[in-house]
């Protein structure tokens, strides 16, 4: 079954004075996004990789590819106004059956084990969403205050979130809702059932300076 990976790299524009979007920050000397693409390529080099990037990042990205002699093959697609729209643009590039892993561009530490299992489980069960148990206590908003909820009932959701191509394309053929916080919630809205698979705590989304420090340390070990 043909494998696809839609790598979504959002982030703000590249205006003068703005901070560099996280996906371009260096991790061990290489932009984070290149680590992410390489993880999918190294897991299985026949996977077709679709990179979704804001159009005004294209020039900078190609410049980085040249500077780093980046040789992983990919198709590049312009992002949309929201994550939902960006994923949709990526899915529209796919023109065969198969399974597609949708993955955050800023999760460079995803392992081969997780990638392989995601494709396997999605092929057999329709979906595979990477999750880890919540280690901290949780509270939920309740009016002006918050109340505690039972941590053991909750999972923290990571990516990849992997689906059969036909089913996830049908799921994305809807009006975007504000309750679509990830691809699993879109799939679920159209009646799909989500299969969770074990992630690992290393597979972090890089969103803060601490995350970069963590990622550098993990790569060194």
**Which residues lie near a second copy (CB under 8 A)?**
129, 131, 134-141, 145-151, 153-158, 179, 181-182, 184-185, 188, 193-194, 196, 200-202, 205, 207-208, 210-211, 213-214, 216-218, 221
In the complex, minimum distance from the CB of residue 146 to a second copy, in angstroms, rounded to a whole number: 6
Pairing of strands 196-198, 127-133: parallel
In the complex, minimum distance from the CB of residue 176 to a second copy, in angstroms, rounded to a whole number: 15
In the complex, minimum distance from the CB of residue 54 to a second copy, in angstroms, rounded to a whole number: 21
Nearer to a second copy, 47 or 161 (CB): 161
In the complex, minimum distance from the CB of residue 55 to a second copy, in angstroms, rounded to a whole number: 26
Q: What is the Cα–Cα distance from 152 to 147, expressed in whole angstroms?
A: 15
Nearer to a second copy, 25 or 65 (CB): 25
Nearer to a second copy, 70 or 114 (CB): 114
Q: What is the Cα–Cα distance from 194 to 167, expressed in whole angstroms?
A: 12
The residue with tokens 């299992």 is: 117
In the complex, minimum distance from the CB of residue 210 to a second copy, in angstroms, rounded to a whole number: 5
Burial of 18 by CB count in 10 Å (0-12 exposed, 13-18 middle, 19+ buried)? Answer: exposed
Nearer to a second copy, 48 or 197 (CB): 197
Nearer to a second copy, 115 or 184 (CB): 184
215 alpha-carbon distance from chain centroid: 16
Q: What is the Cα–Cα distance from 162 to 127, expressed in whole angstroms?
A: 6
Burial of 185 by CB count in 10 Å (0-12 exposed, 13-18 middle, 19+ buried)? Answer: middle
**Residue whose C-alpha is closest to residue 7's, from 133, 120, 93:** 93
Nearer to a second copy, 5 or 215 (CB): 215
Pairing of strands 48-53, 30-31: unpaired
In the complex, minimum distance from the CB of residue 97 to a second copy, in angstroms, rounded to a whole number: 25
């Amino acid at each position: 079954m043909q494998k696809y990976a839609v790598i979504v790299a959002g982030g703000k524009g590249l205006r003068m004075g703005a901070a560099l979007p996280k996906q371009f920050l260096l991790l061990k000397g290489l932009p984070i996004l290149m680590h992410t693409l390489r993880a999918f390529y190294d897991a299985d080099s026949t996977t077709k990789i679709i990179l979704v990037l804001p159009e005004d990042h294209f020039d900078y990205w190609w410049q980085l590819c040249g500077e780093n002699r980046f040789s992983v093959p990919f198709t590049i697609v312009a992002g949309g106004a929201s994550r939902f729209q960006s994923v949709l643009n990526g899915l529209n590039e796919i023109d065969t059956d198969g399974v597609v892993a949708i993955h955050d561009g800023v999760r460079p530490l995803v392992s081969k084990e997780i990638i392989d299992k995601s494709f396997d489980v999605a092929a057999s069960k329709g979906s595979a969403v990477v999750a880890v148990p919540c280690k901290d206590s949780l509270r939920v908003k309740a009016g002006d205050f918050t109340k505690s909820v039972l941590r053991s009932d909750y999972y923290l959701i990571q990516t990849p979130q992997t689906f059969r191509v036909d089913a996830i394309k049908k799921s994305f053929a809807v009006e975007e809702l504000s309750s679509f916080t990830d691809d699993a919630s879109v799939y679920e809205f159209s009646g799909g059932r989500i299969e969770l698979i074990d992630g690992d705590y290393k597979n972090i989304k890089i969103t803060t300076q601490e995350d970069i420090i963590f990622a550098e340390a993990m790569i060194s070990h």
